[in-house]
């Protein structure tokens, strides 16, 4: 009887040690996975920015059309106003301003001499800054950050789920061993309540 209690005590202690080790390993693995995921996400955003810069440089006409299309949409507020508005562009885009102003047919739009430090896009605002529209590439990426993260996260497996205790793993192992035994022996074991030793 004492021998059985000692064995059970030892098994319980061993199970606790195993459970702690499993938990520590899973926590460590999760932390490493999160770190890697964050590093890869940063690399993805940098790759997106590099790709946008490359496309702007290779297709300046397409980029100008992008500016015109979005300025037309965002500048509707200027159409019926006598108030003076300013547009802030990337220094590279200063040369596009006369064409943009002509295309939009806006006399109350001036170029702000302080260039954007961003990749591209524009900021539109009035003198008092009561109206401020940020349509820079960086802002578009920031606004769509949740969508980008969501799409990115689908690539990664979720390392979650039920953490099994050592006793559950042992029971599964016993079951697997039982499944490997011929049917006649299985019936005998089940009928006679015999426990398989590991």
CATH of the domain at 111: 3.30.2320.30
- The number of domains in the chain is 2
Give the pLDDT score at 38: 87
Which of the residues in the chain have pLDDT under 50? 1, 3, 160-161, 198
Q: Which domain holds residue 194?
A: 164-198
Asked whether residue 31 is domain-assigned, the answer is no
Q: Do 170 and 118 share a structural domain?
A: no
Question: Who contacts 167 (Cβ-Cβ below 8 Å, separation ≥6)?
Answer: 15
Residue 173 lies inside a defined structural domain of this protein? yes
Are 96 and 179 part of one and the same domain?
no
Same domain, 125 and 176: no
How do residues 11-55 score in pLDDT, each as one tens digit? 677 777 777 787 787 878 888 888 888 898 899 899 999 999 999
* Residue 159: inside a domain: no
pLDDT at site 58: 92
Give yes or no: residues 148 and 195 share one domain: no
Q: Is residue 34 in a domain? A: no
Burial class of residue 89 (count of CB atoms within 10 Å of its CB; 0-12, 13-18, 19+): buried
Distance in angstroms (rounded) separating the CA atoms of residues 157 and 63: 37
**Strands 109-111, 85-89: parallel, antiparallel or unpaired by DSSP?**
parallel
Q: Which residues contact 84 (CB under 8 A, 6 or more apart)?
A: 108, 110, 126, 127
Give the pair of three-digit tokens for residue 18: 């195993």
List of long-range contacts for 17-26, beta carbons under 8 Å, 24+ apart = 18/165, 18/166, 19/165, 19/166, 22/163, 22/164, 22/166, 23/163, 26/159, 26/163
What's the pLDDT at 54? 92
Could you tell me if 71 and 145 lie in one domain?
A: yes
What token pair was written down for 91? 């220094």
């Amino acid at each position: 009887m004492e021998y059985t209690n000692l064995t059970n005590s030892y098994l319980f202690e061993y199970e606790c040690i195993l459970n702690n080790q499993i938990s520590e390993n899973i926590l460590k693995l999760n932390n490493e996975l999160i770190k890697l995921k964050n590093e890869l996400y940063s690399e993805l955003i940098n790759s997106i920015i590099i790709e946008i810069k490359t496309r702007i440089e290779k297709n300046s006409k397409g980029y100008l059309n992008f500016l015109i299309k979005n300025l037309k949409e965002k500048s509707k507020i200027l159409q019926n106003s006598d108030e003076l508005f300013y547009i802030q562009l990337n220094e590279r885009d200063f040369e596009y301003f006369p064409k943009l102003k002509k295309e939009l047919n806006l006399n109350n739009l001036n170029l702000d001499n302080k260039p954007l430090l961003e990749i591209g896009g524009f900021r539109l605002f009035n003198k008092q800054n009561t109206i401020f529209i940020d349509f820079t590439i960086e802002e578009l990426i920031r606004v769509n950050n949740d969508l980008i993260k969501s799409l990115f996260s689908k690539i990664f497996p979720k390392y979650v789920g039920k953490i099994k205790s050592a006793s559950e793993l042992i029971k599964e192992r016993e079951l697997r061993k039982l499944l490997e035994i011929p049917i006649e022996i299985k019936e005998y074991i089940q009928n006679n309540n015999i426990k398989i030793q590991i």
